[in-house]
Amino acid sequence: MKLPAEVVKVFEGIKSMRIRGAGRIARAAARALEVAAKGYEGSEEGLLDYLVYVANYLKSSRPTAVSLPNALNYVLSRVKAAKDRGIMPLKEVALKAAREFINYSLRAVEIIGEIGAKRVKDGDVILTHCNSSAALSIIIKAWREGKEVKVYATETRPKFQGYLTFKTLSSKGIPARLIPDSAVRYFMKDVDKVILGADAVAANGAVVNKIGTSLIALSAHEARVRVFIAAETYKFSPFTLFGELVTIEERDPREVVNSDYLLANPGIKVRNPAFDVTPPEYIDAIITERGIIAPQAASLVLMEEYGRAIGGCLIKVTVDMEDEGL
Amino acid sequence: MEKKLSKLIEDIRTGKIYSSTDVVISSLRVLEGLAKSTNNLSELIDLYHKYLPVLIKARPASAMLANSVRELLTSIVSALERGLSFKELLEELSKKRTEIERRINEAINSAALIASRRIQEGDVILTNSYSRSVLRALKVTKDRGANFSVYVTESRPGSEGLLTASRLSSLGIPVTLFVDSAVRYFMKDVDKVLISCEAVAANGAVVNKIGTSLIALSAHEARVRVFVIGITYKFNPETIFGELIEIAEEEPQATLSYDVKEGIKSLSPLFDVTPPEYIDAIITERGIIAPQAVTTVLREIYGWPFKLEGIEGLLEKLENYSGRRE
């Protein structure tokens, strides 16, 4: 089967982290499916198989981002349901579902900003990590509401996404200071709230996010500083409901040190895990587009979101995808 | 010689020379050279007046720097009290400098030997930054024929963890390197944390490279033991009188290694303070002590009540002996 050039481009973009952040990855994946459906010229019968094939390819770009398979499943499950019920043409269903997902995702970040901003008080000092659009949405919304907040942004090694956060905040006039990741505990006593994003939320409320998140949450817990996670519901991992672990991706060591260093020190193993897992006991609340929940209530969100699919579309499609051996 | 000292002070201030032992040994050598470049006592006193406070201020947290400079000055004052000539005084100064250097090296060797006894076959040791004491302890352990491996954090800002990793690897020790924020991710694989320090306060709190307190916190959470190698030269006697250890904040620009430095506002403290409750033991040349026993050691060294002359006071005394004051 043939892959449209644009799909390949999205795959490469996600893999190289040109497209980063769970939300952006999810939207890019939905868009890629939309493009694939639009360009499909085969039989009505074969469309779903083709889309599953494209989805499998996209899914293999990054193992940890749960939003990626969730976005793909959002589209695929709707196409499958339509097919089962004989709704035609399936291409229309696919295009509509992809659009729907993208719009939903964009709106979700906005709603999270509105809900989360209510928890920010005038004068709050906020610490954030990496570059999360959902977390930024909260901070920016609070600022627009006239709350004078100050932000510590960690530089976020190895890829320095903190610089992007700093720039976004500065461009809105929000006072921000960049700090090394190692200085988190040093500054924690000045911090009122920690607001972070998530790459995935597991059924027990554990949050998978950029490496360093669990250390920040631990340090906040020690200092009795509240930790809020901003996460759209499509970042909740349905697979963890069935005991599956979220795979933590280890990336190229050259993101940490340069090739010269590696060549000069062949005995040194450089490890570069992209994410870590923060246990629910260090998280005060998860802010979703449906409201603020305790991390322990993550399974409720999952049941609500995917409950109807359990034993049905979602699982079937997922199994199909697993069978592809990717 | 003055130029050399200014350069040294700059390198110390910006953290370019990281190891506190290296800081002290090179400082003492340059101070000796500076004294020898003068023609009379008056010139020497002028230069010491000019540079000593700046030198101490370049690394205000370093107890060993203050302690050894104090010892050097005391020897000059004592030489003057005994009515020695300027030439004899310089000889005395040289002797004292050599003696301090020898005592520091001996103390490090003894402490390292004691520390190495706490490393067992198969241990995974986590360390950060660059420390002569830690390197020495690990080398002694390797020489003994023990098999163990070492996890090293990059140690931003400064990234001197890369140098530590290289040194250890060249000794044939298996080394794994990762970013500072990954400490909690790897802590479950670690058996012992072995770190050095910049200063030990009277209450047993330890000042060391920024990020150390995060490592200790994470180790405490995971019930991993934390050992600090701190020879008694690093014990800060002034903290008994309630003095706080001053933590310098590095020039922000010096720490940024990202290509876009323009307009970035950062905060970058060089050290942080690890509370005694996260430290299992401090390893000195006199033996292993609980952090809570630091006062006892300070009493042993300085007597009780304390006889301790400040550097300002010693400079004042020099001034009086110079005969320039009537």
Is B48 a residue whose pLDDT tops 80? yes
d(CA B23, CA B315): 21
CATH topology of domain B2-109: Four Helix Bundle (Hemerythrin (Met), subunit A) (1.20.120)
Residue B304 has pLDDT above 60, yes or no: yes
Contact A272 B179 (CB under 8 A): yes
Check whether residue A62 and residue A38 sit in a common domain.
yes
pLDDT of residue A258 exceeding 50, the answer is yes
CATH architecture of B118-302: 3-Layer(aba) Sandwich (3.40)
Q: How far apart are CA B96 and CA A254, in angstroms?
A: 47
Residues A121 and A77 in one domain: no
Q: Do A219 and B214 touch (CB under 8 A)?
A: yes
Dist CA A164 CA A250 (whole Å): 22
pLDDT per residue over A210-228, tens digit each?
999 999 999 999 999 999 9
Chain B residues inside the 8 Å CB shell of A155 = 156, 258, 266
Shortest Cα distance from B153 to chain A (angstroms)? 10
Report the C-alpha gap between A171 and A179 in whole angstroms.
18
CATH number, residue A37: 1.20.120.420
Same domain (yes/no): A101, A120: no
Domain that holds residue A20: 5-108+307-323
pLDDT at A50: 95
Report how far residue A98's alpha carbon sits from residue A93's, in angstroms, rounded to the nearest whole number: 9
Cβ distance B210 to A268 less than 8 Å, yes or no, reads no
Three-state SS for B34? helix
Domain segments of chain B as ranges: 2-109, 118-302
| Closest residue to B156, CB basis, from A182, A222, A265 | A182
Cβ atoms of B234 and B286 within 8 Å: the answer is no
Option in A157, A180, A267 nearest B175 (CB): A267
A239-243: long-range contacts (C-beta < 8 A, 24 or more apart)?
A239/A66, A239/A69, A239/A318, A240/A202, A240/A203, A240/A204, A241/A203, A241/A299, A241/A302, A241/A303, A241/A306, A241/A310
Give pLDDT tens digits for B155-168. Answer: 998 899 999 999 99
Same domain, A241 and A256: yes
Query: A274 and A156 share a domain?
Result: yes
Do the chains contact at B272 and A183, CB–CB below 8 Å?
Answer: yes
Q: Is A293 found in the same domain as A152?
A: yes
In this complex, is the C-beta atom of B34 within 8 Å of any C-beta atom belonging to chain A? Answer: no
> Per the CB < 8 Å rule, is A267 touching B269?
no
**ipTM of predicted complex:** 0.91
Does the pLDDT value for residue A317 go beyond 70?
Answer: no
**DSSP assignment letter at B307:** -
Q: In terms of domains, do A142 and A281 share one?
A: yes
- pLDDT beyond 60 at A320: no
Catalytic residue check, A192: no
Going by C-alpha positions, the residue among B115, B101, B138 that lies closest to residue B285 is B115
CB of B267 within 8 Å of a chain A CB? The answer is yes
Would you say A280 and A289 are in contact if contact means Cβ atoms under 8 Å apart?
A: no
Q: Give the CATH number of the domain where residue A165 resides.
A: 3.40.50.10470
- The answer to whether B162 contacts chain A (CB < 8 Å) is yes
Q: Which residues pair with A250 in a beta bridge?
A: A273
The 10s digit of each residue's pLDDT in A109-130 is 999 999 999 999 999 999 999 9
pLDDT digit string (tens) for B57-113? Answer: 999 999 999 999 999 999 999 999 999 999 999 999 999 999 999 999 999 999 999
Is B139's Cβ below 8 Å from some Cβ in A?
Answer: no
- Gap from B255 CA to chain A (nearest CA, Å): 9
Q: Is A199 a catalytic residue?
A: yes
Residues A165 and A60 in one domain: no
Quote the number of domains for chain A. 2
